[in-house]
Amino acid sequence: MLEVKFYDSIDDSLLKFAVIISQSNGKWVFCKHKERDTFEVPGGHREAGENILETAKRELQEETGAIKFDIKPVCVYSVTGKTRVNDTGEESFGGLYFAEISEFAKELHSEMEKVVLMDELTDNWTYPLIQPKLIEKYLQIERQTYSKIQLAAKQTIEYIKKVIKPEINLLEIRKLCEEKMLELGADSFWYWDVGAFVFAGDETTISVSGKSGLRD
């Protein structure tokens, strides 16, 4: 029986694997190995001289053909029990990452036969006792993060309602809102799929999405 656990962090030297949960244009990215009829999330062993993020990037590029992507750490996971990559059954550790892929290479040059984009998660897993749990953990963390962001936005709205004055201009309001959200834990502004402040008036007659409204 396999046991999967999760950690916020662990000594880097213990991390032997990287797994990269991936999406592209709202679809899940899965790989099909040339010698298997099942699907899997990209990932693999850490090579000598690599840090674990380098491992994640390399495996993502090799197994999916990703050319352009954004990648971020999710957490550390561990698996206890014998698997095809762990003969001893002792607890082994890996870095779990998420990547948003915006461009793929035309051909794969790895052990993977093809990359498949799916609207829903597969039910034909190569590692059915491990990878579904990794995705479940990622989704759990995303829900918690989204809830925190929404709470910070609501708290900022309540704050700005108390300090706004008739003579204040939009730039001053923006500055106060950003300072408050930074204080509440935000680390960036104007990204999509997250609630945003919208100011109505003569100076803001057109609304744009977060993606098309990004600024340097």
The pLDDT score that the predictor gives to residue 85 is: 80
Per the structure, the count of domains in the chain is 2
pLDDT at position 119 over 60: yes
Alpha-carbon Rg for the chain in angstroms:
21
Interval 57-95: pLDDT, tens: 999 999 999 999 999 999 999 999 988 888 889 999 999
CB 117 within 8 A of CB 24: yes
Last residue within a domain, chosen from 101, 129, 157: 129
- 3-state SS of the chain: helix, strand, coil percent to 5? 30, 30, 40
Q: Mean of the pLDDT values across residues 147-166?
A: 87
This prediction's pTM: 0.74
The pLDDT score that the predictor gives to residue 196 is: 52
Amino acid at 15: L
Q: Do residue 30 and residue 115 come from a single domain?
A: yes
Last residue within a domain, chosen from 94, 129, 164: 129
Q: Do residue 119 and residue 47 come from a single domain?
A: yes
Rounded CA-CA distance 200/206 in Å is 9
Nearest Cα neighbor of 214 from 197, 187, 186, 191 is 191
Q: Which of 80-94, 119-133, 186-200 has the lowest mean pLDDT?
A: 186-200
Query: Crossing angle for the helix pair 170-183 and 131-163, nearest 10 degrees?
Result: 130
- Local confidence band at 198 (pLDDT 50, 70, 90 cut-offs): low
Rounded CA-CA distance 183/178 in Å is 8
Q: Do residue 154 and residue 125 come from a single domain?
A: no
Q: Do residue 9 and residue 113 come from a single domain?
A: yes
Q: Do residue 38 and residue 74 come from a single domain?
A: yes
Exposure of 186 by Cβ count < 10 A (0-12 exposed, 13-18 middle, 19+ buried)?
A: middle
Domain that holds residue 158: 148-208
> Mapping DSSP to helix (H, G, I), strand (E, B) and coil, where does residue 6 land?
strand
Q: Do residue 122 and residue 191 come from a single domain?
A: no
Q: Do residue 117 and residue 154 come from a single domain?
A: no
40 strand-pairing partners: 31
DSSP 55: H
Residue 107: CB atoms within 10 A of its CB come to: 6
Pairing of strands 3-7, 112-118: unpaired
> Mapping DSSP to helix (H, G, I), strand (E, B) and coil, where does residue 141 land?
helix
The pLDDT score that the predictor gives to residue 216 is: 44
CATH number for the domain that contains residue 101: 3.90.79.10
N-to-C CA span, the chain: 50
